[in-house]
Structure 1
Amino acid sequence: MKLAVVGGGSTYTPELIDGFARLRDTLPVSELVLIDPAADRLDLVGGLARRIFAKQGHPGRIVTTSDLDAGVEGADAVLLQLRVGGQAARQQDETWPLECGCVGQETTGAGGLAKALRTVPVVLDIAERVRRTNPDAWIIDFTNPVGIVTRALLQAGHKAVGLCNVAIGLQRKFAALLQVTPAEVHLDHVGLNHLTWELGVRLGGPQGDNVLPKLLAEHGDTIADDLRLPSQVLDRLGVVPSYYLRYFYAHDEVVREMGTKPSRAAEVAAMERELLAMYGDPALDEKPELLAKRGGAFYSEAAVDLTASLLGGERGGSKGPSGKGGGGRRAGGSPVQVVNTYNNGTLPFLADDAVIEVPARVDGRGAVPLPVPELDPLYAGLIAHVTAYEDLALEAALRGGRDRVFRALLAHPLVGQYAYADGLTDRLIEHNREHLAWA
């Protein structure tokens, strides 16, 4: 089985490598190709990746290349984890929106739109090149904003599924609080990427007992502290929102905070410099503890599980597109996973081609969302609102133009005023000209 990682020079990659090494019985990889245009970073990450495989006794071969077409040729699945413009673009995304009194964040609000505009055309170009080389390959998108990027891929006819680590992180957190194994915890996780709520926490499977009330009663303060929301908010809602909901539920407070401390982008950039120095140490043969602070916790386990399910074939077990079938062993991930995929009637107030983030049954045919509980208007209304923004954001990313950018910003609930939308449009275009073919 051959996998390719586009953005393989990312400091995230050793997290992914560690998962591939530990979970090789779930996902038997024979060749892993790390693809990145930044040759210096790729050398450091690739060297550490090989040492991690060697230490854990993984027999797979790790290849590094800056040649996308050669790297993806024959791949059974291609994982996308790229950042167009790097941390410098992220720093801008997190700062110029504050000039208009709006949240500066890389995946939502004005900064999230800027990232979408930079990213969608690049990802679609990569996907077309993958399709020319290997039309049967699965594309797994971890690149933010995952919902918009995944929808762009699906609309273009690619075999794509979007992946985020929010759900698996909460699953692990709840399992620890309940003192059970993560496999015993099923989440009623509903919404859009980075706009989700845990409506239930069930033990034993989708039909298991809902222990969310017990969790909130016994551990509400701990959960609220992690989300940086008052525990009274969780008590009143009776659900657990994603930590990204803080940008909506405490917008003005967040903007004030952002104006008084260094951006997350600056923190991450400093962390990346330290991590890359560590990766260059030939004695290092495991992911360093510092990587946990970088973000993306449990990403590797989610990625392994999803890839294994997609490449495991239908319940009869077809081989992947390379025909190698994992060296005679069939991949086998969990049958139900939280992913980003087409709505297809799951949320009746959204179009079928909206991309939602919910538990889905995953196998070699793709992801099919499971039924979800009926949503309170408090959540359904915000989901519908942000979906309308995502529709306009994708149109702006595909077709360009100042007016389309303005319309998307005006539609976003974190912007919503024409004066803000006008000012943010000017700033977005000015800071991203080199990445916008139409600007």
Structure 2
Amino acid sequence: MGALKVAIVGGGSTYTPELIDGFARLRDTLPIDEVVLIDPAEERLALIAGLARRIFAKQGHGARVSTATAVADGVDGADAVLLQLRVGGQAARDEDETWPLECGCVGQETTGAGGLAKAMRTVPVVLDIAEHVRRANPDAWIIDFTNPVGIVTRALQAAGHKAVGLCNVAIGFQRKFAAHLGIDPELVRLDHVGLNHLTWERGVTVLDHVGAATGHEALPKLLGDFGQQIADDVRMPLSLIRRLGLVPSYYLRYYYQHDAVVEELRVKGSRAAEVAAIERELLDLYADPTLDTKPELLGTRGGAFYSEAAVNLLAPLLGTGDTGVQVVNTRNDGTLPFLPDDAVIEVQAEVGAGGVRPLPLQPVEPLYAGLIAHVTAYEQLALRAAIVGGRGRVYAALLAHPLIGQNELAEQLTDRLIAHNRAYLSWA
């Protein structure tokens, strides 16, 4: 491959320096020649681009950083396009996390009614962006970081785009488990199964050496020696973790402890308010012309290890790295036989220049398969509502969600979702 160009839609995000730092550090794996930051917010775009150039220069990387306010201009000639946008910004997120609580339901930006609202705002915008990418370079890969990743990735794939979704939950577990065991993270392979933000670690294999096909199972040791730390990390009781005998992702607490979390959120307030305050501080730091590294504060924003996950995915897809195994969000195609082929699942996959191929899985136990199937049905209805619109489709998706599932709740939440998002819904 010749000169490598990567475009980042949502390049004005406070996340972007995390990606840039990874691109600079991992240049041997992914030799990028140009990064294009795309964002309509010109002031923030200039700020982030300036810091990106300083980070590259500090690490002796020769990549060029350019900017664009129009998607069509920025994606022209790009080999890969990363999506990390938030339609409506933190203000819309704050609403997603607030109005569901009025109905006694969890208020969260990707789970439940708030997650549906975000999908409704996001899917049409992402599909429009993807059409610009297709016209500019039909061979370009679209890497979706934008939540809800499963629904957005399914929308992209259904429209025929070369798309794969990426989340940092799995790589976060990999790094934390490796730290507990005192080993290289590359020696840790997860039996990670489910949907985006609905996953479980059923096994943790410690490979005999990096790249090996064999190893030994370490999950019992992790639960035995580090159970309390793991339980604290996912914010669930140790007794639950031990009873399950596996590690659920943090997002399972919205299902396993729904009512307790609702009460907690009513007292604590929205995460959006916290993030907005962190972002203001970060932007002040980014404005310092002497800053040439990502600040420690960025670690509190979320998105840890996103850059490593992105490079690990992009390098084999673009032919600059060897075929490898990584947890991604991709088309099911029979991997979980109880789901439709076009469902998007989050599992280990072989990633190479030919694309993404999910690895075979051991059968999923009914306790988890039932919830996976239930949420997949919701996601299918949510995608239809986001693409076609209509109050009835919003209601159907909410009624299908396992955290809602009651007529009165679905009616109330439908009215609130439409009222709070009318500006983003062309049919409302």
Find the partner of 2:379 among 383, 390, 397: 390
Match of 2:23 among 16, 20, 23: 20
1:53 aligns with 2:60: no
Determine the C-alpha separation between the residues in 1 that align with 2:17 and 2:9. Answer: 14
Cα deviations across residues 295-325 of structure 1 (Å, max 9, x unaligned)?
Answer: 000000000110111101xxxxxxxxxxxxx
Following superposition, the deviation at residue 135 of structure 1 comes to: 0.7
Q: Is 1:223 equivalent to 2:230 in the alignment?
A: yes
Write the deviation string for residues 278-302 of structure 1: whole angstroms up to 9, x where unpaired: 0000011000000000000000000
CA distance, structure 2, for counterparts of residue 236 and residue 109 of structure 1: 26
TM-score (norm 2): 0.97
1:299 to 286, 299, 306: 306
The AA in structure 1 aligned to 2:345 is: I
Of 338, 350, 359, which residue of structure 1 is paired with 2:348? 359
List 4+ stretches of structure 1 deviating above 3 A. none
The aligned runs of 1:107-118 (5 Å cut-off) are 107-118=110-121
Q: Which amino acid aligns with 2:103?
A: C
- Residue 264, structure 1, aligned to residue 271, structure 2: yes
Q: Is 1:183 the equivalent of 2:186?
A: yes
Match 1:240 to one of 243, 247, 266: 247
- Superposition pairs of residues 30-45 of structure 1, within 5 angstroms: 30-45=33-48
By how many angstroms is 1:136 displaced? 0.7
**Letter of the aligned partner of 2:293 in structure 1?**
E
1 CA distance for matches of 2:156 and 2:204? 31
Contact 1:307–1:333 (8 Å) recurs in 2:
no
Aligned counterpart, 2:156: 153
Matched, 1:338 2:321: no
Whole-angstrom CA distance in 1 between matches of 2:298 and 2:49: 16
Identity, in percent, stands at: 73
2:291 is the counterpart of 1:284: yes
- For 2:213 and 2:20, how far apart are their aligned partners in 1? 30
Alignment partners' CA distance in 2, 1:275 and 1:412: 36
Is residue 2:173 matched to residue 1:170? yes
Structure 2, unaligned runs of 5 or more: none
Report the more deviating stretch, 372-381 or 291-300.
372-381
C-alpha displacement at 1:208, in angstroms? 2.3
Number of equivalenced pairs? 421
Offset of 1:262 from its aligned partner? 2.5
**1:130 maps to 2:133:** yes
Deviation at 1:198, TM superposition (A): 0.2
**1:416 Cα deviation (Å)?**
1.0
Residue 101 of structure 1 aligns to which amino acid in structure 2? G
Q: Unaligned regions of 5+ residues in structure 1, if any?
A: 313-330
Give the deviation of 1:333 after TM superposition. 5.2
Equivalent residue in structure 2 for 1:77, among 77, 80, 89: 80
The more displaced of 142-151 and 60-69 is 60-69
TM-score normalised by the chain length of structure 1: 0.95
Partner Cα separation in structure 2 for residue 333 and residue 285 of structure 1: 31
CA contact (8 A) 1:305 1:333 kept: no
Structure 1 contact 78–138 (Cα < 8 Å) conserved: yes
User: What SS does structure 1 have at the residue aligned with 2:330?
Assistant: strand
1:199 pairs with 195, 199, 202, which one? 202
The answer as to whether partners of 2:323 and 2:353 remain within 8 angstroms in 1 is no
Distance 1:77 1:343 in 2: 22
SS of 1:290 mapped into structure 2: helix
